[in-house]
Structures are given as C-alpha cells and as structure tokens.
Amino acid sequence: MRNVLVATIAGAALLGAMTTEGRAAGPAVELLHRSWSFDGIFGSYDDAAKQRGMQVYMQVCSACHGLEYVAFRTFTELGYDEGEVEAIAEQFFITDGPDEFGDMFERPGLPKDSWPSPFRNEAEAAMIHGKAPPDLSLIAKARPGGPNYLYSLLLGYDEEQGLDLPPGNYWNEYYPGHIIAMPPQLYPDLVVYEDGTEATVEQMAADVTQFLMWTAEPKMEERKQLGIGFMLFCAAMTLIFYAIMRRVWADVKK
C-alpha cells in the first residue's frame, strides 16, 4: 500500500511539473511555412541550394555545431568532385591515434572522416556555452515541424523583446518558451555565395535548412523513386492478375 501511495504522489508531482513546464513554454506558435523543393512524393533536393546551405553551415554554424553522421566523402552528392571534397576535409583537424608511442594526435581531415565537432568533448562545449550545442546531423528530422521549424527558428529573433532578458539570452518567437541561448546567426550579406545569389537572411535560412534536411535524409530521393516504382509495379500486377482472373473464370460464368 505504501509503495502504491508513493508512486501516486510521484506521478502527481511529475504531472504537475510537466503542466507547469507547458505553461512556461506558452502556447504553440504556428511555424513559418515555405514551399520546399523536397515536399511531396515527387519532391527532390535543390542541388544549388544544398551547396549554398553547406557554405552557410561552414562559415556560420560549424563554429559551434558538428555533423557527426555526415562523412566528407558524401559531399560528392552535393555536386563536388573528389578534389574539392579533399580540399574541404583538409580544412578541419581530426583527432586520431594512438600513434606508435601511444599518444593521440591531430591530422588534416580526409574524405572518410565525419564533420567534427569544434569542441574536444561536451564538457568543454558546456563550459564555453553553458550547454553543449547539439550535433545537427539529424536535427531536421528530430524536431517537430522539421525543416519549417529550423527555418522559423533562424528567422524568429526579435531584438526589441530581448532587451529585458539577462545577458546571454535572446528572444525567439518559435523556440519553446521563447528564450534561447543561441544568438542570432544570420545577417544580410553574411556570406558571399559562390553562384552569385543574393545572401538575404531569408535566403541563407532556406539554404542551410535545405542542407540540413539532406544531412538528415540523404537517401530521400532514392526512397521516393523506389516507392513510386513499387506502386507502379503493384498497379501493373493488379491489372495483369485481373485480366488472368477474367480469362480463367470466363467459361465458368458462361
């Protein structure tokens, strides 16, 4: 009986905490919606947008975030050749080892390596930022709203409402609770796109979102093509079996 009572009290306390947290987060705000090239069963990635998004990620996001599950060699799928992929990988230093003396060492990145975190470990990241910035490999699939959430978050900062917040906190319309530790990341002309596209805040937010959607689901196009092919196969076989059935039962019906 005592155990049941303790469990009941604990459950009530947890429910109360969740309710309080929900009230603190405030009502859900409708996300910004954009017409993405990858939406729908026939959707596909915009290769130019993916390249621009990677450029934004490299120049802005990689200072705090890694892509643990994204190998440099996969950038050939973005349109880069092997030489360009090697050049991109060499811009990063990878901890490797141990060597013949049992020590770890750093070396330039190779195409086989994953995009590293800018920090040695989560403790170092937390010491600098208060909380370790998340790895963004799968972030586009890990958050409700997916790409629309990322796009909205990058555009949701309001400097006027953030004036009364403690230092190190910022107001964001689309972040749960509206108070976020990550400062605004995008400003007009922050990057110079290699293809000459104007680097507006909206354009950069859309491009880096497209890139992060690709890192989260790099085989999306193949999956959709396989699904469409399977549906066409099923439709064709249905017609064939229906014709066979009509032929087999024709004499019986007569």
Domain parsing of the chain, residue ranges: 43-49+132-218, 225-254
Angle of CA points 134, 207, 59, to nearest 5° = 60
Residue of 57, 51, 167 lying closest to 118 (CA atoms): 57
Q: What is the pLDDT of residues 166-196, one digit of tens each?
A: 888 899 999 988 999 899 999 999 999 989 9
> What's the one-letter identity of residue 250?
A
* Chain centre to alpha carbon of residue 189: 23
Tell me the pTM: 0.79
What is the model's pLDDT at position 253?
63
Size of the chain in residues: 254
Cα distance between residue 53 and residue 62, in whole Å: 12
Residue 232: both structure tokens together: 């066409």
Residue with tokens 């092919």: 229
How distant, in Å, are the alpha carbons of 33, 67, 177 from that of 61?
22, 10, 23
Backbone angles phi, psi at 153, to 5 degrees: -60, -45
Whether domain 43-49+132-218 has CATH 3.20.20.70: the reply is no
Distance from first CA to last CA of the chain, Å, rounded? 75
Per the rule left: phi > 0, alpha: psi between -120 and 50, beta: everything else, 102 is left
DSSP type of residue 183: P
67, β-bridge pairs: 115
Cα distance between residue 1 and residue 6, in whole Å: 9
Question: 176-182 — which CB contacts under 8 Å span 24+ positions?
Answer: 176/25, 177/24, 177/25, 177/26, 178/26, 181/129, 181/130, 181/131, 182/64, 182/133
Cβ atoms < 10 Å from Cβ of 113: 16
Cα distance between residue 121 and residue 126, in whole Å: 9
Cis? peptide before 218, omega within 30° of 0: no
Residue of 189, 188, 184 lying closest to 159 (CA atoms): 184
Residue ranges in the chain modelled with pLDDT below 50: 1-27
Q: What is the largest CA-CA distance in the chain?
A: 89
